[in-house]
Amino acid sequence: MAEEQATLARPYADAVFSLAKDSEQLDEWSEFLSFLSTVMQAPEMVALFGNPNMSNQKLSALVQDICEGQHQLGDKATNLIKTLADNQRLRVVPALSEQYEANKAKALGRLHVDLISAYAVRTKAQKSSIAQALSERFGREVELNIIIDRELVGGWVVRAGDQVIDMSIQGRLANLANELRT
């Protein structure tokens, strides 16, 4: 399902990114798409997607009313909402926002990295140190997102684009189990 959402969102994300880049409004669009993504993930909105009594026009008007005053993009943002509603694609906004941010990071020479850890990174100094080490490893500025996953038991997993570095205890145990089977 997530893959399908990403596929449906890609052309919209690319178009919005191109528009934002041309108008030099990368940050404004980031803020708007983040807000819109939050709105679209609200349980009340999710329930409206499959409601037969909610036409595309009504849904578009509702989303526009919610977003009014939350951005400085004017007609461009309104047109995006209308286009997404008309094509029944409002549910892909979270994937659109994510892909837009990936396009933005790439254009700015940054790499989005998820650090999945069994334990929280407690201080800014630790986070900064990790980001610096990963920047050196990947040769680009790193935008670090820390995710806590207690199932890892210990260690960490780094996801940067399509590259994964698994240094978790859970991953090591899985590798050991595979070696023992062969």
The string of DSSP letters for 113-129 reads: EEEEESS---SHHHHHH
SS3 87: coil
Residue 29 three-state SS: helix
**Residue 33 corresponds to which amino acid?**
L
**Domain 109-181, CATH class in plain words:** alpha beta
Query: Which amino acid appears at position 65 of this protein?
Result: D
Q: What are phi and psi of 51, to 5 degrees?
A: -75, 120
Domain boundaries, the chain: 2-105, 109-181
- The tens place of each residue's pLDDT in the chain, 182 residues long, gives 567 877 888 999 999 999 999 989 888 999 999 999 998 898 888 888 778 888 888 888 888 888 887 766 678 888 999 999 888 888 899 999 988 988 888 888 888 888 888 888 888 888 888 889 988 888 888 888 888 888 877 888 888 877 888 888 887 888 888 888 88
- Looking at the domain 2-105, which fold is it? Peroxidase; domain 1 (1.10.520)
Enclosing H/E stretch for 111: strand 110-117
